[in-house]
Amino acid sequence: MSKRIFFICGSMNQTTQMHQISKHLSDYEQSFSPFYCHGFDEILRRLGLIEFTIAGNRMVERCRTYLKDHGLNIDYHGKKGPYDLVVTCTDVYLQKNIRDHRIVLVQEGIIDPDSLLFHLVHRFRFLPRWMADTGMTGLSDAYRAFCVASEGYRDFFIQRGARPEKIVVTGIPNFDNCRQYCTNDFPYSHYVLACTTNLREVFRREDREAFIRKAVEIAGERQLIFKLHPNEYIERATREIRTHAPNALVFTTGSAEEMIANCDALVTRFSSTAFVGVALGKETFSDLDMDTLTRLMPLQNDSAALNIANVCRRVLEEQ
């Protein structure tokens, strides 16, 4: 009987990464699920009170639509388990029904820096890890292997407390071949691109007016384009841009990576898009300095999904 693999998805970035990995494991039986939660968290989800998370109704439906459109077998909440292996996009929240399974964890993208919440959760382990957002990634120790973007990130996670023997440098899909985004049909070029974040939606401080004014200053006489984060409040963000950068173009959909490929300069905050800018040699302004971005940069090996799939095979064959 073929062994069974359960892929837990989340944001569109996380979902497409899981899909890419699964293509190299087609000889196994596969099921996929949008991100889900249990207990009191599930009550909050049903009441629409956690829409800012990957377990929120909007994100779940977006993921479900993607899975359906690609003909993938959906097992929401993993009710058809148990499975021989679980591949998940995050361990800051671990579902109750996978904790006794073999787990492979895949890094999604950029990881939040140290913060007060990170230090509180790290010290007081009774606090839920999700309080620190992505800052607690890799610290559950519930996985057999943790696939990370680069040697720089391996050192980063070890420094935070992850076990070195469990970390495998594979690169991460969607960020392992940034050159592919240079072939696109986005109609603009030679502009300054500002990619916003959803910091406010996850209850973190952001001075959006200052960010917009910074982008305007960097752009100067050049065209300024804003690409809004898919999880932020579009109406509010658009209104703010119209007020402080009335001549800017605003895009709410489309590929941020392709827009970065066509720009002269990228302005963002703490966002994985900064890696794309650096990989493509763009002048990049973000919350991380260039030395740190370069050190953490995901491997450009165009084989991350295959590398992660090989890790999954190894874990499946372990005694």
CA distance 153 to 150: 5
CA distance 78 to 73: 11
CA distance 241 to 150: 35
pLDDT of residue 32: 98
pLDDT value at 253 more than 70: yes
Nearest to 3 by CA among 84, 71, 110: 84
In this predicted model, what pLDDT tens digit does every residue of 111-158 receive, in sequence order?
A: 987 777 777 777 777 677 777 678 889 999 999 999 999 999 999 999
In what order do the strands lie in the sheet containing 167-169? 29-33, 4-8, 85-88, 103-106, 145-148, 167-169
pLDDT value at 8 more than 80: yes
As a whole-number percent, the residues of the chain with pLDDT over 70 amount to: 98
Residue 317's SS3 state is: helix
In this predicted model, what pLDDT tens digit does every residue of 176-210 receive, in sequence order?
A: 999 999 999 999 999 999 999 988 887 778 899 99
pLDDT of residue 132: 67
pLDDT of residue 48: 86
**What are the angstrom distances between the C-alpha of 114 and each of 93, 169, 285, 297?**
18, 22, 20, 18
Which pLDDT band holds residue 80 (cuts at 50, 70, 90)? very high
Which residues are CB-contacts of 317 (< 8 A; sequence separation ≥ 6)?
none
Which residues are CB-contacts of 154 (< 8 A; sequence separation ≥ 6)?
148, 164, 167, 169
CA distance 155 to 161: 10
Q: Which residue has the higher pLDDT, 309 or 289?
A: 309
CA distance 164 to 29: 30
**3-17, 31-45, 109-123, range with greatest mean pLDDT:** 3-17
**In a 10 Å sphere around its CB, with 0-12 CB exposed, 13-18 middle and 19+ buried, how is residue 223 labelled?**
middle
pLDDT value at 269 more than 80: yes
pLDDT of residue 49: 83
In this structure, what is the dihedral angle of CA atoms 88, 91, 95, 100, given to the nearest 10 degrees? 80
Half-sphere exposure (Cβ direction) of 50: Cα atoms closer than 13 Å: 18
As a whole-number percent, the residues of the chain with pLDDT over 90 amount to: 79
Which residues are CB-contacts of 49 (< 8 A; sequence separation ≥ 6)?
none
Task: Provide mean pLDDT across the span 90-95.
Answer: 95
The helices-and-strands tally (H runs, E runs) of the chain is 11, 11
Task: Provide mean pLDDT across the span 5-19.
Answer: 97
- For residues 63-78, one letter each, b for 16 or more C-beta atoms within 10 angstroms of the residue's C-beta and e for the rest, the string is bbebbeeeebeebbeb
Task: Provide mean pLDDT across the span 210-233.
Answer: 96
**In a 10 Å sphere around its CB, with 0-12 CB exposed, 13-18 middle and 19+ buried, how is residue 287 labelled?**
middle
DSSP letter for 70, please: T
Q: Which residue has the higher pLDDT, 241 or 201?
A: 241
DSSP string, 139-173: -S---SEEEES-HHHHHHHHHHT--GGGEEE---T
pLDDT of residue 44: 87
State the chain's mean pLDDT as an integer. Answer: 93
Cite the DSSP H helix spans in 89-150: 116-123
User: How many CB atoms are closer than 10 A to CB 252?
Assistant: 14
